Structures are given as C-alpha cells and as structure tokens.
Amino acid sequence: MGEVSEKAPKVPIPGKRNILITSALPYVNNVPHLGNIIGCVLSADVFARYCRLRGYNAIYICGTDEYGTATETKALEENSTPQQICDKYHEIHKQVYQWFDISFDKFGRTSTPQQTEVCQSIFKKLLENNWLTENTMQQPYCDTCKKFLADRLVEGTCPTPGCNYDSARGDQCEKCGKLLNPTELKEPRCKVCRNTPCIKDTDHLFLELPLLKDKLESYVNSMSVAGGWSQNAIHTTHAWLREGLKSRCITRDLKWGVPVPHEKYKEKVFYVWFDAPIGYVSITSCYTAEWEKWWKNPENVELYQFMGWKNPENVELYQFMGKDNVPFHTVIFPSTLFGTGENWTFMKTISVTEYLNYEAGKFSKSKGIGVFGNDVKDTTIPVEVWRYYLLANRPEVSDTLFTWTDLQAKLNSELLSNLGNFINRVLSFIAKDPASGYGSVIPDAHGIESHSSTKALAEKVGNYLDQYIEAMEKVKLKQGLKIAMSLSGEGNAYLQESQFWKLYKEDRPSCSVVMRTAAGLVYLLACLLEPFMPSFSREVFKQLNLPESRLSLSDENGDIERAKKPWDILPAGHKIGTPAPLFKELKDEEVELYREKFAGSQADRTLRVEAEAKKITEQLNKAKISIEKTKKERSTKSTKSAEAKSKAGASASAEAEVSISRLDIRVGLIKKAQKHPDADSLYVEEIDVGEAQPRTVVSGLVKYIPLEEMQNRKVCVLCNLKPATMRGIKSQAMVLAASNNDHTKVELVEPPQDAAVGERVTFLGFEGKPDDVLNPKKKVWETLQVDFHTNKELVACYKDIPFTTSAGVCKVSSISEGSIR
C-alpha cells in the first residue's frame, strides 16, 4: 500500500473522466476488523483500481479520523495523551491497510493544521451566511470528574421502544443504530467513574438543517437517481427527510478537536461529525496544493445550473462507507457545503454496505469480537484470499456472515480448483519442453475462423466483458467479481471440450489455436481480477513474463476490443516465465485451528495466549532443572572417570560430548520447490538459510505435502549434515518434519512468521558452536533425533525443551506427540 506512487500529485484533466474516491475515515481509537475493512477501505480500493485500469484520472483519499470523545476515552483507558493514541493507532491502521494492498493516493489524518484551516474556513462561511444559531442545551455534567460529559462519555439504556440496549452510547445506540442525545438515555452513567451525572445548561452553536431542507431535497432527488445511489443509502436518507430535519449542535465541551474560532466559544471544539467529513477535503489539501481543483470543480451540470452556480467542470465524487455513516454523508455534510454558498464538488455516487457478521454474532471493535486487521497477518492465508473472500461476501443489500468453513470452501473450490487450476493447466502445458509442449513460447495460431469452439468462446468473452464493465461502472463490485470468475469457468470448459492434450498429438495447428487463446484468457483474467486481487495479478503477469504496466482495460488503447479476440492478446513467439501454483488448499484441521484461535473476544484470546506462554515457561523451567541435574550427574561421572583414567594412566582425550548444541538448525525460507526430475517421491527445494546463496535440499515429502504448500514458507533446516547425493542431485541440508505414530501424516516444523531467516534455533541450557559438518560415523544426529518430538501443545521439542527462536517457539499444524526427523 500506502500511497500508490511517489509521482507528482494528480489534478483534474479537461476532457478526461476525473474521479475523486473517498472511503469513510476509520476512527483511530482501535484496530479495524474485517467488517470495517470491507465496509469502506477495501471496497473503495477495488473501485479506485478499476478506474485506473480503465485509464480514468482517479485519486483515492482516506485517513484516520482522530478528534473527538472516543480518542479522549481511549487515552484515559491507556493512560496516555490523545495525541499518543492517535499516533499509535494511525500507524496500526496504516500497517493493516498496507498488508491488505490498499492503494491510497493519500492516507492522511485529521489532526493536522490543514484540517483546522479548512474546517474553520467552512465554519466562518456558515456563520457569515446566517446558517448557524446559538442555543442553550442541557448536558450531563459529572461532579466527580468535574467536567461536562461528551456523548461517548455517557452510557445508559436506549430509549427506543423495543430496543432497551443497556450499553447505548450518548450519541448512538450500537444495537438499533438510532442517533441519540445523551439526555435521552435512561439510567445514564459516566463512562469514566460510573457515577450518575447531573444535567447542567451549556451554550452551543447549531447548524440550522431545517432552513437548508429545500436545497438538500433537490440535491438528493436529483443525484440519487443520476448517481445510482445504493438502495440502503436512499432508504436511510429519505427516512431522515420524512422524520423532519432538526438543528444539529456542531460544538462540544472538549479539548481534543478543532478549536472554534469564535470569542464566546473559544474553549470549545467542533463536534466530530461536523469536522470528520471535512477531513476528506483537508487530506486532499495535504496531497496537493491544488486541492480546490478536485473539491470546487464539480461534474453535475444540471444540479449546478439549478442552484444558480457557475462554471461546472468535471470531477465526479464517489464515496464508500458502512450503513451507519449514511446520514452524515447524504444529509449533514451536503447541507454544510450548501451553507457556504461555494461551488463544492458534491457526492455523485454513494456505495453503502450492510454489516458483515462473524460466525455466531456481530463483529465489534468495542468488544473485541471477530477477526481484526492485525490478526490476518498471523494466519498462513495470503492477502489475495482474504480480499477475494471479503469481496465475494460483500454485504451489498443485506447483512452477510463470515465463517471459516465458507472461507475454506471459496478458497478450495473457487480459487484453487477453478481459477488456479485453469491458469496452471494453460501455462504448465505451454512451458513443457518442445517434445510435449511449446518450450515456454506462445505458439502462432492459424485457421481461427474455422475453429468453432474458439469463436464461441470469444463471443462469451465479449458478453462477459461488457457485463463486467457495466457492473463495475455502477459500483456493483460483487457482481463484477462473479462475472470475472465466470470467465475462468468458461476457460476450464474450453480446455476440457478441446481435449488439447490429444490435439497436440493429432492436430497440432488446432492445439496451437487453443493454447494461444487460453493464454490470452489468462492475461484477461489477470486484468479483470486486478482490482480485487492485485497480488494475484502481479504473480500471473510474472508467470506470463509481462511488465505490470501492461495491466490495462482502457478504451483509448483499444484494450477492450482486443480482449474480445483473446487469441490476439499475446503475440506469437512471446516467451512466458515459470509457471507455479497460485493457491494452496486450506485443510479442515487448519480451519478448526483458526476457529478456535479467534473464538471469543480479543481479551479472551489474550488470556489464552498468556496461559500458553505460562505453560511453555513452566516447561522451560522444568527443562532447566532437568538440565542442571543432568550436568551435575555428568560432572560427577566426569570426575570419577578422570580419577579412574588418572589411576589407569589414561592419556587419550575424551570424545566430544553428544550434545544438541552440536546441531546447526536454522530458520529457512523455501524460495522454490519442484518435483525431482528422476524420483516421483522427492521434492527439490531452494532454501534461503541466511547465506549468500540458497541451499539445494532434497526431501521425501511428495506423498504427504502438496507442491503448492511447499512454496514460500518458513521451515526449520538442519544445515550441518554431510551433503548427500539423492538420485543425481546433491542435498545440502535437511528440512525437519513431524510424523504421527503410523507415519501416515507428515507436517513441516514451522518457526514463527516473524522469525528471521538464517537465525539459529536454540535450546535452553545448551550453548556452544555447532560442528561445521557432523561426522556421520559418530552418529551425532541419529543419537539426538530419538528425543525430537512434538508435545500436546504442538510445540517442537528436544526432550522437554522447545525449539526456540527470538520470535517464539516452533510448532506444527496438528500432529501432537509425533516424532520429528
């Protein structure tokens, strides 16, 4: 992630489609969960990538929302300042989105001087144009804390009939979604000290929404149709309008926020709902000094003529968010902009998601329930799978459910068996040597006009491509993904119907047509799926031996018309790269492991991790006592032996002790794995063990571990065995693996993901340099190996001592009390 590039900031270009994309600014007081990620930043990222793919001049703006009560509350909880909380969580958010491959043009924050400048400027315009009024309101005051309590510092029972949620916040009920005032809560209590607050008068400034209703309704009625707003956004907005707009307080008795530039209210700050949407503007101003070209350069000619404004230009604003954010973007923020009387760029299209629920309940940041952005890095599931699953499950019209079994089914059947299988079949066949394939060269193809199945496929491709573009232009992302995946299914059917493996022997020209067409379809799939799974598309282009700059679906370049003739996409004679599996199977035991690992709240998980750490510490202490006892026994024996030798006049030096410290076990990273050319049961791996060149290792794991699971993963490697030649290939080390009692199941011993490649695996109580090369005649490895095993917690051990790295202990996936060799 981060920003897409370090190039000069983009500005609108006359004559081009200029698209400004925002996603709701994630609040900075916690780690985002998967529901937050699909609800705003990931959905907007897909659309931004699609726009770039089409050659539109698009920018994607987002950042952390940092002011307000929630930050002050979190600072109290963590005994720090609001600024420290913002700095900490802004960095966490940034890292999470970076891992998710989110391509912001600018990811900023609202606690900036630019935010203060833009926010105060808009406020002054509203004041000047008489859209603000002063009013006295009653607000909870805590005598214990000696301060007025902002909305989120008050909790109580929701007053909405039929709800009665007992932990509703003073601004909104998390259960029913109703926006509230803190004085409406039943049985209110201070969030800090839990005492009941009293009610006191305090003066505040209000935005007069009722006076702006006519302008707002004209905008909503016009733009909701022209911009194709999602139905949930239309429904929520009209519900607000039907209930009647009320004056909204825009100031708060807080310290952490944008100061109000008014003498009477200089001790107050702006309410977060007022200043947060303005963050889109201020973050754009941090991106480019020419920000007004994006924000005061609107697209909708009809609306601006209706309002009597001048010089409508060509910027379209698309905004992405979850359903709880709708009123702030369709009612309050537009009304604020109307009140300034300036030519702002108003939202054209809003794309709103419902809730993504987790297994048996709701994702919840406050309660720590669900899978969070920082959790996904701790799984072995790659980013493209997470993105695919969330987008295929995007809650566009109703709430959807995240389950581990559903993720497993989508990965194994849709990505692995459908998409990955098609691409691998095509590229692997082309990569075969010229005696059985095409020597990695795209073949020439003749006689396509008479090749009926290829012509039929091209017609389907054209239809799917038109449907894909129509869906994506309307921001129907889930539909766009489904259409792209349907093309993969068509590709598999095309290969199966053609029986290309027979054609190669019986009708080589026809086989060449099929393979060149199929290779073109591989390219097209990489393009269509790039918005959804960019890392997948990068890997496919690498295997096609094409630069990423070729990823394009631009009308101007003729990409769309060319794509409708897939045999013309890749030129004859082009040499492809090295094919490799793109996805690996997610097994039942892994699913069960993840379901158990992420059960309950984050607090529950922390307790489980602490309990496991305590257990390992106890094991280490127990092992330490055992080692010290053994050392004493050895010392006694050694003394007696020395005395005996002295008495016997022995002069020969003792043999070096057979100790675990003599083994050189390191953290390795498999860079590449492939089948042994002359042995069906063997893999040949290239493993980085922290040296200048990777080591070649031969392993007898074919029967137990699929090839795709051997790629790009960390392993424990015994590096000082004497090299041995196995079927013509010299093996320079050994990968350690565990097996069950009857040796029907084998799993790799895995170091923690954060362990450094080349780091030596250690054993508490055993120190010393390893042998350069173990002498096979002394049977050091064979003597020690009998005490290698996995325990009930799946930790790899020598006797009772865990395999340990600086990042933690080494484990296996599911084999407990197995042997390691």
- Looking at residue 298, its pLDDT comes to 61
- The pLDDT tens digits for 643-676 are 554 444 433 334 457 899 999 999 999 999 999 9
Which whole number is the average pLDDT over 12-25?
93
- pLDDT level of residue 484 (50, 70, 90 thresholds): very high
Q: How many residues are recorded in the chain?
A: 821
| Helices assigned H by DSSP within 147-267 | 213-226, 231-243
Instruction: Please check whether residue 689 is in contact with residue 717, taking contact to mean a CB–CB distance below 8 angstroms.
Output: yes
The confidence band for 802, taking pLDDT boundaries of 50, 70 and 90, is: very high
pLDDT at 737: 95
Q: Which residue has the tokens 């202990």?
A: 809
Q: Are 616 and 752 in contact (CB under 8 A)?
A: no
> 3-state secondary structure string, 423-436?
HHHHHHHHHCCCCC
pLDDT digits (tens, 9 = 90+) for 356-373: 888 755 555 455 556 776
Which residues make Cβ contacts (< 8 Å) with residue 388, sequence separation at least 6? 410, 411, 414, 415, 481, 532, 533
Residue 604 DSSP code: H
pLDDT value for 120: 97
DSSP 575: B
CB 451, CB 513: distance < 8 Å: yes
In Å, what is the CA distance from 374 to each residue of 43, 181, 245, 410, 603?
19, 34, 40, 22, 15
Measured distance CA(345)–CA(334) in Å, rounded: 10
Give the DSSP letter string of 20-48.
EEEEPPPBTTS--BHHHIIIIIHHHHHHH
Distance CA 526, CA 536 (A): 8
Q: Could you tell me which residues are beta bridge partners of residue 57? A: 18
Give residue 312's pLDDT: 43
CA distance 516 to 338: 56
C-alpha of 670 from chain center = 23
Cβ atoms of residues 197 and 190 within 8 Å: yes
Percent of the chain topping pLDDT 90: 61
Q: What is the token pair recorded at 43? A: 């959905």
Q: Which residues sit opposite 351 in a β-bridge?
A: 320
Residue that is written with structure tokens 């990505």 in the block = 415
Residue 377, pLDDT score? 78
Q: Distance between CA 328 and CA 515 in Å, rounded?
A: 53
pLDDT of residue 379: 82
Tens-digit pLDDT profile for residues 724-772: 999 889 999 999 999 988 888 999 999 988 888 999 999 988 888 999 9
Predicted pLDDT at 367: 53
Choice between 441 and 149, residue whose per-residue pLDDT is larger: 441
> What is the predicted pLDDT for the residue at 503?
92
Burial of 657 (0-12, 13-18, 19+ CB in 10 A): exposed
Confidence class of residue 311 from pLDDT cuts 50, 70 and 90?
Answer: very low
Average pLDDT, whole number, for the chain? 87
Identify which of 83-97, 473-487, 544-558, 706-720 has the greatest average pLDDT.
473-487
Closest CA to 490 of 426, 395, 427: 426
The span from the CA of 82 to the CA of 70, in Å, is 9
Give the torsion sign (CA, 481, 482, 487, 492): positive
Helix %, strand %, coil % for the chain, to 5? 45, 20, 35
Q: How many of the other CB atoms lie within 10 Å of CB of 79?
A: 7
Rounded CA-CA distance 396/332 in Å is 23
User: What does the pLDDT read at residue 543?
Assistant: 96
Q: Determine the Cα–Cα distance for residues 244 and 694; give it in Å rounded to an integer.
A: 70
